[in-house]
Chains A and B, each alone.
Chain A
Amino acid sequence: MQFGIFTVGDVTPDPTTGRTPTEHERIKATVAIARKAEEVGLDVFATGEHHNPPFIASAPTTTLAYIGAQTERIVLSTATTLITTTDPVLIAENYAKLQHLTDGRVDLMMGRGNTGPVYPWFGKDIRDGIPLAIENYHLLHRLWREDVVSWEGKYRTPLQGFTSTPRPLDGVPPFVWHGSIRSPEIAEQAAYYGDGFFANHIFWPAEHTERMVGLYRRRFEHYGHGTADQAIVGLGGQVFMRKNSQDAVREFRPYFDNAPVYGHGPSLEEFTSQTPLTVGSPQEVIEKTLGFREYVGDYQRQLFLMDHAGLPLKTVLEQLDLLGSEVVPVLREEFARLRPAHVPDAPNHASLVAAAGGARDSGVHATDDVTGRTAEDAR
């Protein structure tokens, strides 16, 4: 099982000091957080994508490539990549390039993500959100699997004999997750392709996540990718820890009360009882997180949101120390002990290459289209 963190890149005032970090500080903090994640033994760092203030999460592949150059092991991912408003041709190119630069340490999570005003900035309409997610991903899926694509759709100009470069590393596209809070169509989409499904999980009650994941698992089996319990599931989570539970509650409360999304609404106590948010000791985080599998089954990826709502960098790094030293080692052991042998791990580059029967030369026209001859043959 993989453990990691995801960030939305919000620039939020620290409610305890009133100070808002500069964009530069927040961007650099994001890099420091990702490096720390690798240092404390986490498996995945995922960044969101937004194109409006108060976020610094535009240009995600720039961020991920920079982090990739400063890390060695951690998988670089997204939470989420805006499949609705981003040209699938650019996604195909950018993430294939990132895949080469990082030697395959890349996967992606597709999401609709945006609020209404963002769509028209990219020539799109939020009312087409689901059809955009479906058409754009269908094209992206082909661009990574077919060297030459001719294509016509509703939402972008047609392609005639187009080749997206670079071709995916070793001829194997990055693994894709589809993220959603509430749309059954996205669970259906993930199931159709046999891709992973990531339930946001953190904003809504567990019963809702249970229904979404249940739908995805049933349909994964329906489309012939394996049994329902072999489907690839990821979950979000949100925690704040101190050794002493009461200290965690006291310190986190002002951040919770003023947080984007749910701030000024339900109390911290109500929200922790109704959603996966855990504010308390590392042991409480362990117990609540282990409980997730009781309603989604054995799953493959757990990402935590650790750095939002104006929490200062120093605090976030302390949180990551606790997560890496006290929580994740126990969760790894417990989840592994509970998981039956036929439930797979989340795919990574190595496992995808193995499943494809080995790496293949992914250069365009490595094989002559007409004669079927390769460069080696010609020698």
Chain B
Amino acid sequence: MTAARTNGGHGAGVPRRIAVVTAGLSQPSSTRLLADRLAESVRRQLSAQLGGEAVDVEVVELREHAQALAGNLLTGFPGPGLRSAIDLVLEADGLVVVTPVFNASYSGLFKMFFDVVEQGSLSGTPVLMAATGGTARHSLALEHAMRPLFAYLHAVTVPTAVFAATDDWGSRGDAHGGLVERIDRASGELARLVAAAPPAARTERVDPFETPTSFEDLLAGR
């Protein structure tokens, strides 16, 4: 389905929007916990960058869309709830995406969401990647699995990806190289990218229904 969005820019005074996509399954989940910590840090640092402007943060819990995602794969269109979630993500100025690591990669639920987002629609979007897992041995899943996914989607990933293992939740977060420091470093990177983007920096997308290719061009001299 073609996205209706034709204006990715901001009017004056429109707050920057951060969308958080989280693929945790249990409730509460450590994935959502990490997502919330990242969102709060991004909000604080982005607002500071923008001289105290308000920042909108919206969270998409993929668990709530699990059946709709399977439906979308089969029917080719999203139901209304999933459509709203996709639109939130497409209209955001920056994304925070968080998944549990399952079998050496992002979860299937996480991938399903990015499989039904229209091709090209995340081009140029700043993305902070994060993941959770039982041990730090899973942490490179972010680099080997998730970063190529967003490279393929032409999103702009920030250099620091945040992995939180079970150990991290029990240790002093403010230690050198600890979880809090990693959260703040990655969030700062995302905040700077989003703040630096001028209004309407996101690619203006041509709506093929509003601006169709004329038939003379399609026919191309035949």
Do A265 and B218 touch across chains, with their CB atoms under 8 A apart? no
Given A208-B1, A265-B70, A265-B71: A188 touches B76 (CB 8 Å cut-off): no
Do A134 and B208 touch across chains, with their CB atoms under 8 A apart? no
Do A266 and B71 touch across chains, with their CB atoms under 8 A apart? yes
CA distance A192 to B213 in the complex (A): 12
Do A188 and B222 touch across chains, with their CB atoms under 8 A apart? no
Do A192 and B215 touch across chains, with their CB atoms under 8 A apart? yes
Do B222 and A138 touch across chains, with their CB atoms under 8 A apart? yes
CA distance A37 to B219 in the complex (A): 38
CA distance A197 to B68 in the complex (A): 30
Chain B residues near A153 (CB, 8 Å)? 222
CA distance A208 to B76 in the complex (A): 12
Q: Mark B51-89, 1 if CB is under 8 A from A, else 0.
A: 000000000000000011011011111011000000000
CA distance A205 to B218 in the complex (A): 27
Chain B residues near A261 (CB, 8 Å)? 74-75
The verdict on A112 contacting chain B, using a C-beta distance below 8 Å, is no
Distance of A57 from chain B, by nearest CB (Å): 21
The verdict on A211 contacting chain B, using a C-beta distance below 8 Å, is yes
CB-based nearest B residue for A208:
B1
Chain B residues near A219 (CB, 8 Å)? 212, 215
Q: Mark B185-222, 1 if CB is under 8 A from A, else 0.
A: 00000000000000000000000110011110011001
CB-based nearest B residue for A219:
B212
Chain B residues near A214 (CB, 8 Å)? 209
Q: Mark A100-134, 1 if CB is under 8 A from B, else 0.
A: 00000000000000000000000000000011001
CB-based nearest A residue for B80:
A274
Most chain A beta-carbon neighbours within 10 Å: one of B1, B79, B215: B215
Distance of B42 from chain A, by nearest CB (Å): 33
Do A264 and B74 touch across chains, with their CB atoms under 8 A apart? yes
CB-based nearest A residue for B83:
A205
Do B222 and A204 touch across chains, with their CB atoms under 8 A apart? no
Q: Mark A159-200, 1 if CB is under 8 A from B, else 0.
A: 000000000000000000000001011011101100000000
Distance of A111 from chain B, by nearest CB (Å): 16
CB-based nearest B residue for A130:
B218
Chain A residues near B215 (CB, 8 Å)? 188-189, 191-192, 219, 223
CA distance A274 to B74 in the complex (A): 14
CA distance A264 to B129 in the complex (A): 32
Identify which of B68, B77, B209 contacts A211 (C-beta below 8 A): B209
Chain B residues near A215 (CB, 8 Å)? 209, 212
Distance of B115 from chain A, by nearest CB (Å): 14
Given A134-B222, A188-B218, A189-B218: A270 touches B212 (CB 8 Å cut-off): no
CA distance A191 to B73 in the complex (A): 31
Do B1 and A266 touch across chains, with their CB atoms under 8 A apart? no
Identify which of B1, B71, B74, B219 contacts A204 (C-beta below 8 A): B1
The verdict on A335 contacting chain B, using a C-beta distance below 8 Å, is no
- Chain A positions 190-241 with a Cβ under 8 Å from a chain B Cβ: 191-192, 203-205, 208, 211-212, 214-215, 219, 223
CA distance A97 to B3 in the complex (A): 44
CA distance A187 to B75 in the complex (A): 22
Do A262 and B218 touch across chains, with their CB atoms under 8 A apart? no
Given A219-B212, A270-B71: A204 touches B76 (CB 8 Å cut-off): yes
- Give A contacts to B, CB under 8 Å: 130-131, 134-135, 138, 153-154, 182, 184-185, 187-189, 191-192, 203-205, 208, 211-212, 214-215, 219, 223, 261-266, 270-271, 274
The 10 listed contacts between A and B (C-beta, < 8 Å) are: A135-B222, A154-B222, A182-B1, A187-B212, A204-B1, A205-B77, A223-B215, A262-B74, A262-B75, A266-B79
- Give B contacts to A, CB under 8 Å: 1-2, 67-68, 70-71, 73-77, 79-80, 208-209, 212-215, 218-219, 222
User: A215-B209, A223-B215 given. 4 additional CB < 8 A pairs?
Assistant: A188-B218, A192-B215, A203-B76, A208-B77
